[in-house]
A = this chain, B = another copy of it.
Amino acid sequence: MIKVSVVGAKGRMGRHVVDAVNGAADMQLALALDAGDDLTRITPENTDVAVEFTVPSVTLDNVLTLIAQGVDVVVGTTGWTDERLDQVREALAKAPREGQKAFIAPNFAISAVLADYFSTQAAKYFESVEVIELHHPNKVDAPSGTAIHTAQGIAAARKAAGLPAVPDATETDGGSRGQSVDGIQVHAVRLRGLNAHEEVLFGNAGEQLTIRADSFDRGSFMPGVLLAARKLASDAPAGLTVGLANFLDL
C-alpha cells in the first residue's frame, strides 16, 4: 500500500485527490491537511508520497518544506517558473533522504498529455496544421497554456524536419485566422458548458488527422495524479521530473 498525504485537501482539486486515493486499491490516505495545518506532521514514517494542490503563492514553500521533511511530492499547483523549478532541484540535491523525488506537471489529464505528445510526433508528416482550444467562458487568458505548448512543440518538430511554413493564401482577414504561435495558428473558443478541450488538425492533400483531448471535469486529472504517485513510489528517477509525458511509456 502506498501511503499518500494530501496538502490542500479542502480545495477544489484536493477534495478530488482525497476521494481518488480512498478509491484506489493500492493506496491509503495518510494525512489530509489544508491551510493552517502544520506540514511537518507529514514524515517518511507516515507518508510515501505527498500530493500538493494549493495556490501559486504558497506552493513553493510547501514543496520545500515537504522535501526537507524527507517526503516525495507530486505537485499539481500551477505557476511554476524556471527559477522556482531550480529551487526545487537544489532542495532535492541536499534533501535528508537519499534518492528523494519530486514531480511537477502543468496538466495531469492523460488525454491532454497524449494529445500534446502525439501532435509533436505527427507534426513533420503534414503540410498544414492548426490548433483549436475550447474552454468555459470564465477563463481569463487566451489561448490556453496547453495550446501554446502544443503549438510550440509542433513548430519545433516541423523546423527540425526542415518543413517550410504552412500554406496560407489569406489576403483579407479581420482577425478570424487566430494567433500565430511560432508560425502555427491557434484559435480559442469560449463556450458555456465546456471545461477544457484541445483539438489539433493536420492536413495533407486528400487527408486529415485530428487529435482531440476533452477534459470534462476536474476528475479527469485524477488518473494522472495517481499514476504520478505510483511512479514516485516505485521506479521514478531521483530528483525533479517535470511533465506527465515522462511517466508514460511512449
Where the two chains meet, the residues of A that have a C-beta atom closer than 8 Å to any C-beta of B are 109-112, 114-115, 118, 121-122, 124-130, 132-134, 137-143, 147, 166-180, 185-194, 201-223, 248-250
The verdict on A190 contacting B130 (CB below 8 Å), with A109-B207, A207-B109, A207-B111 known, is yes
Shortest Cβ distance from residue A53 to the other chain B in the assembled complex, whole angstroms: 16
Shortest Cβ distance from residue A165 to the other chain B in the assembled complex, whole angstroms: 11
| Residues in B neighbouring A112, C-beta threshold 8 A | 207
Q: List 22 A-B contacts (CB under 8 A).
A: A110-B204, A115-B209, A121-B250, A124-B249, A126-B192, A128-B137, A133-B176, A142-B174, A143-B173, A175-B180, A177-B188, A187-B189, A191-B203, A193-B204, A205-B219, A205-B222, A206-B217, A206-B219, A207-B220, A208-B212, A210-B212, A210-B213
The verdict on A111 contacting B204 (CB below 8 Å), with A140-B169, A167-B192 known, is yes
Whether B220 lies near A193 (C-beta < 8 A) is: yes
Interface SS of chain A: helix, strand, loop or mixed?
mixed
**How far, in whole Å, are A190 and B187 apart by their CA atoms in the complex?**
12
Whether B211 lies near A210 (C-beta < 8 A) is: yes
Shortest Cβ distance from residue A75 to the other chain B in the assembled complex, whole angstroms: 20
Shortest Cβ distance from residue A245 to the other chain B in the assembled complex, whole angstroms: 11
| Residues in B neighbouring A206, C-beta threshold 8 A | 193, 215-222
Of B110, B169, B179, B250, which is within 8 A of A139 by CB? B169
